[in-house]
Structure 1
Amino acid sequence: MERQREERKIEMERQREERKIEREKEELEARTRIELEKLRLQEERLRMEQGIARRESPGRESEFRIQDCYRSLPFFEESDVERFFIQFERVADELGWPREFWHILVQSKLTGKAARAYNCLPLEDAREYTKLKESVLVAYSLTTEAYRQKFRKIQKTQNETFCEFLARKQLVFDKWIRAEEIGGDYGKLRELFILEEFKNCLPDAIKLHLEETVLA
């Protein structure tokens, strides 16, 4: 009897979680439809008032149609969120997609925690690609401070070689530097390391407060 009650409880929890996921999916699809409809109306208005906006490229003209972009979008995986954004931005730059449409294209691929982070954004922020991206990265703790801490605390595992450990540490370092948007600027790199050493000299309570504030 007790076992049956426990099984019913587990089944109810499973059904409740499935309904929650389905609601989130429906909300995301609804927001996507609304945004696409707004874009369609904007396009019609531009056609009526100014004609079709065209981008010029060597030897030809082409009309931007957001519907044609979806087949070129990279696949979103929760296990490697950062790679999705890197691939997306490369494709968008290469194909010349107008930046004002980026948030529409990105949110159509989001799932899991990323979709929930998007749904929690105010409408104004959800329409801005940079804020959308930042919100998703924070949801997965992919912030500059998180990368810094991971780089400093990463340890060699028993099953990996020293070369593999070095490669893994280099990968995390590259992600940290990329998140800081330092590029090849030596001055910014110098400032970053001096600031970190300065923080290491602070009392533990103050240092912990600063780290928690940045990660929040």
Structure 2
Amino acid sequence: MDLSGQENTGPSPDQSKDYDVVKDLILKAYELVPEAYRVKFRTTYKQEKKSHVEYAKTKEDQLDLWVQFKNIGGDFEKFKQVILLEDFKRCIRKDISVHLDERKIETLAEGAVLADEYALTH
């Protein structure tokens, strides 16, 4: 506990020297989940003062983070499902999309079945 009586969740002195430990703690603190990376990727636009090359690099870095936190690796089929499911959820009712997010659906087929079940019961 610290002086304010709160539990100290920061790294120990030894852990603070380990980049991976510190990085994990920072990501957890900011709750940068795959959805946050997806939103950042989808909502970043080229700024007037930046070159197209800089903008392209930013977009690529953001996509890499999104893919990294979705644990896709080099699996093209998994990546395809992430893109298809994202677009599917964008085009359906918000309450159904939220329901799919809560269930952590990973494929379009699973999402479509669950969306139909939800629509029929609500």
RMSD: 3.7
Does 1:139 find its partner at 2:29? yes
Tell me the distance in 2 between the aligned counterparts of 1:192 and 1:201. Answer: 14
Q: Which has the higher helix share?
A: 1
Pair 1:210–1:161, CA change in 2 (3 A): farther
| Greater RCO, 1 or 2 (C-alpha within 8 Å, sep 6+) | 2
- What letter matches 2:8 in structure 1? L
* Match in the other structure for 1:152: 42
3-state SS in 2 of match to 1:190: helix
1:197 and 2:87 aligned:
yes
**In the alignment, which residue of structure 1 is the partner of 2:17?**
73
SS in 2 for 1:166: helix
**CA shift at 1:140, angstroms?**
0.9
What displacement does 1:136 show? 5.0
Looking at structure 2, the residues matched to 141 and 72 of structure 1 have their Cα atoms a distance apart, in angstroms, of: 19
Q: TM-score, normalised by structure 1?
A: 0.38
Cα distance change of structure 1 residues 187 and 157 upon mapping to structure 2, 3 Å threshold:
same
Identical columns (%): 30
Alignment of 1:166-205 (within 5 A): 166-205=56-95
C-alpha contact 1:145 1:211 (8 A) present in aligned 2:
no
Long gaps (5+) in structure 1: 1-21, 33-69, 75-83, 86-105, 115-132
Aligned length: 101
What is the Cα deviation at residue 27 of structure 1?
4.7
For residues 166 and 212 of structure 1, the distance between their equivalents in structure 2, rounded to whole angstroms, comes to 29
Superposed displacement of residue 201, structure 1:
1.7
Q: Residue 170 and residue 24 in structure 1: after superposition, are their counterparts in 2 closer, same or farther (change >3 A)?
A: farther
| Partner AA of 2:41 in structure 1 | F
For the structure 1 residues 205 and 179, does the alpha-carbon distance in structure 2 shift closer, same or farther, using more than 3 Å as the test?
Answer: same
Tell me the SS of whatever aligns to 1:28.
coil
Task: Give the counterpart letter for 1:73 in structure 2.
Answer: K
| Partner in structure 2 of residue 163 of structure 1 | 53
Distance 1:148 1:73 in 2: 30
Any idea what the Cα deviations from partners look like across 1:166-215, whole Å, max 9, x if unmatched?
101110000000001110111211111111121122123443x359859x
Q: 1:198 to 1:159 in 2, by over 3 A?
A: same
Deviation per CA, 1:148-183, whole angstroms, max 9, x where unpaired? Answer: 011011111121111101101110000000001110
Rg larger in structure: 1
CA distance in 1, matches of 2:65, 2:88: 22
Q: Which 5+ residue runs of structure 2 have no aligned equivalent?
A: 104-122
